């Protein structure tokens, strides 16, 4: 038993050390910064203050926070709903590597280039509008870009591989005989999927959820490029605080709060997952 | 296993750090394509110094990075307000006039405006210009050639302004007849009302990244932006469809300069480069590349072969954006009401 | 079958010998892999892939456009000429990106998957500390990670450049590797390890012969993901890059605003084709991995 304990440390220590040195130490600087006075030209002055935290309760910020939240929830939900069948189909396919490659390949061109391509697709003289016009489905160009729908579309687009990958990996490990067994016992196909498949790939779903929700919540480029005049998200505010308004403590405070909230969220997901397992929910 | 991966790590570290140290390298930190590649090659050949360029997309990005401690650049190209800040923050090294004989070509009119450094003690002007308005002539006719174009209701949702608080607020202030550096609360309030009630409802977005592309594709019919970026997106035969103008009411103007940041490794080469770029024949090539007017260098105009997109006289009512210090907060809160609210 | 003991090369953790003795393969059910039916999930998959490729088609089309705008004016190879003969800076940036993507993804995959094994199978004191700290890099906004690392590097006098970017990329890749590999390990039957040990396998043997082969798909996915994210990252890289270490995203980001994007479009196609050629060359190797899953 003692040997085992050592083994665990040996396995985990390299990463633990790496993250402590190159992540925890830098980040603690940021934590300290959030309690300091902002420097006139960026940076901080070494003087304790809670001003950054007070500044956060600005109604303008809360509005953006609310907008960010609903955009993220909608985009994440769409991403997962699309990714689940994809992961399932890939896991059941004979040509897994082929599909995996197809999912990954588009992502080896820079995301900025692809976002600009989306602008070309969605704009009023873009591909979709031209197609619909020439087919006579619409009479006037639809405004598909520079609004919230465009932001959500592109966010789903950017993040969907990060949902498909973990889902595929877990579904691939799933014993499909269980599904057949459930069917034999009289479950409908849908029932078999919801009651047997989904609970047993729970960890994959949670991973996919974390992988997509968090980057979407912190999105910066997408709302900036395909959003309209009122598409600012929290990521944009934080960047602005670092660069344009030069208020580093406020940016730090924002990041700290976001980190704390998402940490709580993730812990909650993990704990409830563990409880489920303990209760034997996985049927 | 572990030993092997350790070995691998060491190998990787070696690979990453063993950049060949050449003797003479000049590290520029510049706006993208702000110095034409042909000139860079010319400089490399003439002086036998290798030039390595890194790029930034905005003064703010560049400054945040230097402020947080980035070192090793020999020459940086900030705009006037950031030159002022960098001088104030003691982030730059003095310019040695002895080494730059071509400083005599720098226009005294420009230096007069550069009140933060009128003797070029810390910075040497690179180019002075302003953002203007581009109109798609084919699709829009009969429009005011001033900032009031953004109040035109029939162009609603086809116009954009820069996503830049100093530019937008500055335009509004200038249009109302105030200074672009105003810190008067009443004047700013007026500017805010003009933007939020007259201009913003007609704008599709505030865009500093894609305005030129969107204009070129015909998505935006009127954009506020930089001439060189707008024309660069269009094939030459389409240029006649563009009406680019600097509104006569004036607005904010920029003066990009060259400074040598602290921590520079090769100040010698930096001085050589400043001198090189202000050689009239060389400077004219730079102006030709972007169709700029010769606003900074007094001797380059005769060597130019292109017609600039706008002229030095157009800049008459334009005012350099100054650093606002503490008062930046006033602009920030104003910008929040414009940018964050629905 | 050869009797030679398969050797594991350090750079290719996921490589599997074609024929091996004594490598454990998890049980596998072929019977229910029903690929004749074209069900709902397959339709979604195909649609999603079309969705993913749509922008790529646009990019490829534009790369052959004679005009630089979005209007199609005729076929031309001028952007490819520019790409190959007049884009010195771009290729330098590409090389930087490539080196960093490979190194950081390899290191992140090794460190991350080892840690995943440690965390999933063993209980030890600092376990929850490592769990918490490894998930934080995912949550924090990139700009904050970027700035804080920059402040840290300049405080401890690590010069900015390729090495600092490599460190940053490895750091933000670690949590993804850890999560992906953990998800796979969840499904792993630990009693197999015990069985291997009972049969006299050392820790290292059970790792290389049992664990790694059976988590190979997860290793491959995490490495692909890490490479992708490394090739993509702009914000963090912007802050930790030093003089002369401009990566492709940094270069593209700054150049795309100035109307030279057709060259970048051309580059995109060249990259995709290049990767496909590599993938086809290594097809057999990839197949082995697929077979092991």
Confidence of residue B247 (pLDDT cuts 50, 70, 90): very high
Q: From the CA of C167, how many Å to the nearest CA of chain B?
A: 10
Q: Which domains does chain C have, with CATH numbers?
A: 88-292 (1.10.3720.10)
Q: Minimal Cα–Cα distance from B137 to chain C, Å?
A: 17
Inside any domain, residue A88: yes
pLDDT of residue B179: 96
Nearest to C191 by CA among C124, C123, C121: C121
Q: Give the one of B37, B65, B71 whose C-beta lies nearest to C239's C-beta.
A: B65
Higher pLDDT, B7 or A18: A18
**What average pLDDT score do residues A125-129 get?**
84
In the prediction, which pLDDT does C6 show?
Answer: 43
Q: Identify the pLDDT of residue C283.
A: 66
Of the two residues B128 and C2, the one the predictor is more confident about is: B128
C261: pLDDT strictly greater than 80: no
Of A47, A26, A30, nearest in space to A241 by CA: A30
pTM of the shown model: 0.85
How many of the other CB atoms lie within 10 Å of CB of B8?
A: 16
Q: For residue C168, what pLDDT band results from cuts at 50, 70 and 90?
A: very high
What whole-number distance in Å separates Cα of residue B163 and Cα of residue A231? 12
pLDDT at residue C14 tops 50: no
Query: What's the CA gap between A215 and A238, in Å, rounded?
Result: 14
pLDDT at B220 > cutoff 80? yes
The angle subtended at Cα C180 by Cα C178 and Cα C185, nearest 5°, is: 90
Cross-chain Cβ contact C127/A214 below 8 Å: no
Kindly give the interhelix angle for B267-277 and B37-47, rounded to the nearest 10 degrees.
Answer: 120
Q: Decide whether B19-129+253-310 matches B136-242+319-339 in CATH topology.
A: yes
Beta bridge partners of residue A48, listed in sequence order: A36
Per the CB < 8 A criterion, the answer to whether B298 and B107 are in contact is yes
Residue C33's pLDDT band, with cuts at 50, 70 and 90, is very low
Kindly determine whether residue C32 and residue A180, on different chains, have CB atoms separated by under 8 Å.
Answer: yes
More confident residue, A263 or B71: B71
Place of tokens 């929040």: B336
Of the candidates B200, B210, B336, the beta carbon closest to that of A60 is on: B336
**Cβ A7–C203 below 8 Å, yes or no?**
yes
Residues 6+ apart with CB under 8 A from A10: C118
Residue of A nearest to C165 (CA): A22
pLDDT, position B6: 60
Question: How far is Cα C111 from Cα C233, in angstroms, rounded to an integer?
Answer: 20
SS3 of B75, please? strand
For residue B311, report the phi and psi dihedrals to the nearest 5 degrees.
-115, 160
- CB < 8 Å & 24+ apart, contacts of A127-135: A127/C58
The winner for highest mean pLDDT among A140-144, B188-192, C22-26, C93-97 is B188-192
| Whole-angstrom distance, CA of residue B112 vs CA of residue A77 | 59
User: Residues with Cβ < 8 Å from A93, sequence gap 6 or more?
Assistant: A99, C33, C35, C42
Chain A nearest-CA residue for C141: A218
B138-147, B309-318, C173-182, C259-268: which has the minimum mean pLDDT?
C259-268
The parent domain of residue A76 ranges over 47-279
pLDDT of residue C12: 38
Structure letter (DSSP) for residue B79 = B
pLDDT value, residue C7: 42
Q: Does domain B136-242+319-339 have CATH number 3.40.190.10?
A: yes
Say how many residues make up chain C.
293
What are the tens digits of pLDDT across the range C61-76?
889 988 877 778 889 9
- Who among A67, A124, A229 is closest to B219 (CB)? A124
What average pLDDT does the segment A201-212 reach?
Answer: 85
Q: Average pLDDT of A22-29?
A: 91
Q: Position of tokens 């990106």?
A: C97
Distance from B182 to chain C by nearest Cα, in Å? 30
What DSSP character marks residue A40? B
| pLDDT over 70, % of chain B | 93
Which residue among B58, B205, B210 sits closest to A228, beta carbon to beta carbon? B205
Minimum distance, in Å, between the CA of residue A215 and any CA atom of chain B: 21
The 10s digit of each residue's pLDDT in B309-337 is 999 999 999 999 999 988 999 999 999 89
Of C32, C44, C176, the CB nearest to A86: C44
Q: Measure in Å the smallest separation between the Cα of C256 and chain A Cα atoms.
A: 8
| pLDDT for res C259 | 61
CB-based contact B341 A230, cutoff 8 Å: yes
Give 3-state DSSP helix, strand, coil % of chain B, rounded to 5.
Answer: 45, 20, 35
Phi/psi at C152 (5° precision): -65, -50
User: pLDDT tens, A40-98?
Assistant: 888 889 999 999 999 888 888 889 989 999 999 999 999 999 999 999 999 888 888 78
Residue C293 has pLDDT above 50, yes or no: no
CB B77 within 8 A of CB B34: yes
Q: Using CA atoms, how far apart are residues B294 and B314, in angstroms rounded to an integer?
A: 12
Which residue from C96, C174, A17 is spatially nearest to B16, judged by alpha carbons? C96
Distance between CA atoms of residues C16 and A109, nearest Å? 29
> From CA B313, how far away is CA B327, in angstroms rounded?
31
Least confident of A181-185, B157-161, B239-243, C4-8: C4-8
How many angstroms from the chain centroid is the CA of residue A279?
29
Chain A residues touching residue C152 (CB < 8 angstroms): 22, 25-26, 29
Within a domain: A34: no
Is the Cβ of B61 closer than 8 Å to some Cβ of chain C?
yes
Nearest CA in chain A to B326: A40
Q: What is the pLDDT of residue B121?
A: 96
Answer for the pair B217, B136: CB distance below 8 angstroms, yes or no. Answer: no
Q: How far is B319 from chain C (nearest CA, A)?
A: 25
A28 against B33, higher pLDDT: A28
CB A30 within 8 A of CB A248: no
Block residue for tokens 């038993």: A1
Name the residue ranges covered by the structural domains of chain B.
Answer: 19-129+253-310, 136-242+319-339
C-alpha distance from C290 to closest chain B C-alpha (Å): 23
Q: For residue C285, what pLDDT band results from cuts at 50, 70 and 90?
A: low
* Whole-complex ipTM: 0.85
The C-alpha of C51 sits at a distance from chain B's nearest C-alpha, in angstroms, of 22
Q: C252, A29: Cβ pair inside 8 Å?
A: no
Chain C positions touching B19 (Cβ under 8 A) are: 161-162, 244
Q: What percent of chain C has pLDDT over 70?
A: 81
pLDDT tens figures, C203-218: 788 888 888 888 887 8
C 228-267 residues inside an 8 A Cβ radius of B: 238-239, 241-246, 250-251, 253-255, 257-261
Per-residue pLDDT of B285-294, as tens digits, reads 999 999 999 9
State the best of A127, A146, A220, A238 to mutate against chain B, taking most chain B CBs within 10 Å: A146
**Average pLDDT value for chain C:** 80
Residue A259 lies in a domain: yes
How many helices (H) and strands (E) would you count in chain A?
15, 2
Tell me which residues of chain A, numbers 153 to 172, contact chain C at a CB-CB cutoff of 8 Å: 157, 160-162, 164-166, 168-170, 172
Q: Which of A65, A110, A157 to substitute to test the interface with C, most C CBs within 10 Å?
A: A110
Q: Report the mean per-residue pLDDT for chain A.
A: 86
Which other chains touch chain B, taking contact as 3+ CB pairs less than 8 Å apart? A, C
Which has the higher per-residue pLDDT, B164 or C6? B164
CB within 8 A of C51, min separation 6: which ones?
A: A157, A160
Chain A residues inside the 8 Å CB shell of C54: 117, 121
Q: Determine, yes or no, domain membership for A9.
A: no
DSSP one-letter string for B256-288: EEEEEETT-S-HHHHHHHHHHHTSHHHHHHHHH
Number of other CB atoms surrounding residue A115 within 10 Å: 21
* A114: CATH: 1.10.3720.10
Residues of C in contact with A174 (CB under 8 A): 187
Q: Which CATH number fits domain B19-129+253-310: 3.90.650.10, 3.20.20.140, 3.40.30.10, 3.40.190.10?
A: 3.40.190.10
Q: Is B122 on the interface with A (CB under 8 A)?
A: no
Cross-chain residue pair A146–B204, CB shorter than 8 Å: yes
For chain A, what is the domain count?
1
Q: Which residues of A touch C252 (CB under 8 A)?
A: 110, 112-113
């Amino acid at each position: 038993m003692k040997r085992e304990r050592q083994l665990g440390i040996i396995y985990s220590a390299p990463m633990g050390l790496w993250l402590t040195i190159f992540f925890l130490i830098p980040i603690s600087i940021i934590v300290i910064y959030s309690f300091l006075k902002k420097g006139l030209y960026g940076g901080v002055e070494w003087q304790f203050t809670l001003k950054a935290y007070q500044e956060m309760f600005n109604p303008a910020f809360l509005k953006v926070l609310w907008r960010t939240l609903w955009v993220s929830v909608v985009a994440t939900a769409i991403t997962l709903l699309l990714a689940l069948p994809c992961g399932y189909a890939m896991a059941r396919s004979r040509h897994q590597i082929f599909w995996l490659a197809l999912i990954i390949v588009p992502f080896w061109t820079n995301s900025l280039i692809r976002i600009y391509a989306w602008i070309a697709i969605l704009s009023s003289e873009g591909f979709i509008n031209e197609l619909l016009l020439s087919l006579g489905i619409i009479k006037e160009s639809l405004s598909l870009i520079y609004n919230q729908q465009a932001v959500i579309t592109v966010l789903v687009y950017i993040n969907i591989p990060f949902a498909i990958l973990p889902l595929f990996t877990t579904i691939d490990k799933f014993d499909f005989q269980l599904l057949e067994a459930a069917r034999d016992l009289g479950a409908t196909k849908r029932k078999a999927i919801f009651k047997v498949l989904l609970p047993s790939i729970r960890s994959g779903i949670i991973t996919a959820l974390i992988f997509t929700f968090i980057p979407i919540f912190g999105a910066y480029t997408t709302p900036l490029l395909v959003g309209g005049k009122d598409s600012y998200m929290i990521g944009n505010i934080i960047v602005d605080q670092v660069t344009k308004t030069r208020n580093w403590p406020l940016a730090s405070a924002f990041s700290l709060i976001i980190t704390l909230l998402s940490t709580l969220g993730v812990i909650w997901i993990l704990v409830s997952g563990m409880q489920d397992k303990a209760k034997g929910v996985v049927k | 296993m572990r030993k092997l991966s350790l070995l691998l790590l060491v190998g990787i570290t070696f690979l990453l750090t063993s950049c060949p140290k050449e003797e003479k390298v000049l590290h520029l930190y510049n706006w993208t394509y702000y110095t034409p590649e042909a000139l860079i090659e010319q400089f490399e050949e003439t002086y036998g110094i290798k030039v390595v360029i890194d790029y930034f997309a905005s003064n703010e990005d560049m400054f945040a990075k230097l402020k947080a401690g980035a070192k090793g650049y020999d020459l940086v190209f900030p705009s006037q307000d950031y030159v002022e800040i960098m001088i104030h923050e003691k982030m730059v090294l003095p310019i040695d006039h002895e080494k730059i004989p071509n400083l005599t070509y720098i226009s005294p009119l420009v230096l007069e405006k550069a009140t933060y450094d009128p003797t070029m003690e810390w910075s040497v002007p690179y180019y002075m210009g302003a953002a203007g308005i581009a109109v798609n002539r084919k699709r829009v006719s009969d429009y005011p050639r001033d900032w009031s174009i953004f109040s035109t209701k029939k162009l609603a949702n086809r116009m954009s302004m820069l996503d830049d608080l100093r530019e937008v607020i500055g335009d509004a202030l200038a249009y109302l007849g105030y200074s672009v550096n105003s810190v008067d609360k009443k004047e700013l309030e007026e500017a805010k009302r003009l933007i939020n009630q007259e201009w913003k409802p007609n704008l599709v977005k505030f865009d500093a990244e894609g305005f030129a592309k969107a204009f070129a594709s015909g998505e935006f019919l009127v954009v506020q932006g930089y001439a060189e970026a707008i024309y660069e997106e269009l094939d030459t035969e389409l240029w006649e469809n563009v009406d680019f103008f600097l509104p006569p009411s004036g607005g904010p103007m920029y003066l990009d300069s060259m400074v040598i940041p602290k921590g520079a490794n090769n100040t010698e080469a930096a001085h050589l480069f400043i001198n090189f770029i202000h050689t009239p024949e060389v400077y004219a090539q730079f102006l030709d590349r972007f169709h700029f007017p010769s606003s900074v260098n007094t001797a380059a105009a005769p060597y130019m072969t292109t017609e600039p997109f706008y002229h030095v006289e157009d800049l008459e009512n334009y005012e350099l954006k100054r650093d606002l210090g503490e008062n930046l907060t006033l602009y920030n809160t104003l910008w929040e009401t414009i940018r964050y609210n629905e | 079958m050869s009797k030679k003991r398969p050797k594991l090369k350090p750079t290719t953790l996921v490589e599997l010998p074609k024929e091996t003795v004594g490598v454990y393969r998890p049980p596998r059910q072929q019977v229910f892999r029903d690929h004749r039916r074209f069900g709902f999930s397959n339709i979604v998959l195909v649609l999603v892939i079309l969705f993913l490729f749509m922008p790529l088609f646009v990019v490829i089309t534009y790369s052959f456009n004679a005009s630089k705008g979005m209007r199609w004016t005729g076929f031309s190879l001028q952007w490819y000429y520019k790409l190959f003969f007049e884009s010195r800076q771009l290729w330098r940036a590409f090389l930087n990106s490539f080196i960093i993507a490979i190194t950081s993804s390899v290191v992140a995959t090794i460190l991350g998957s080892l840690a995943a094994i440690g965390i999933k199978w063993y209980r030890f004191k600092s376990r929850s500390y490592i769990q918490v700290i490894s998930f934080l890099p995912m949550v924090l906004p990139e700009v904050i990670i970027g700035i804080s690392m920059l402040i840290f590097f300049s405080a401890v006098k690590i010069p900015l450049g390729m090495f600092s970017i490599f460190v940053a990329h490895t750091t933000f890749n670690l949590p993804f590797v850890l999560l992906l590999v953990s998800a796979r390990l969840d499904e792993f039957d630990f009693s197999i390890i015990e069985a291997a040990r009972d049969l006299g396998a050392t820790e290292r043997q059970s790792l290389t012969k049992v664990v790694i082969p059976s988590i190979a798909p997860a290793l491959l996915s995490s490495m692909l993901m890490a490479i992708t994210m490394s090739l993509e990252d702009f914000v963090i890289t912007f802050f930790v890059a030093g003089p002369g270490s401009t990566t492709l995203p940094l270069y593209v980001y700054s150049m795309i605003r100035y109307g030279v994007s057709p060259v970048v479009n051309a580059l995109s196609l060249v990259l995709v084709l290049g990767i496909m050629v590599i993938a086809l060359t290594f097809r057999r190797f990839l197949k082995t991995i697929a077979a092991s899953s």
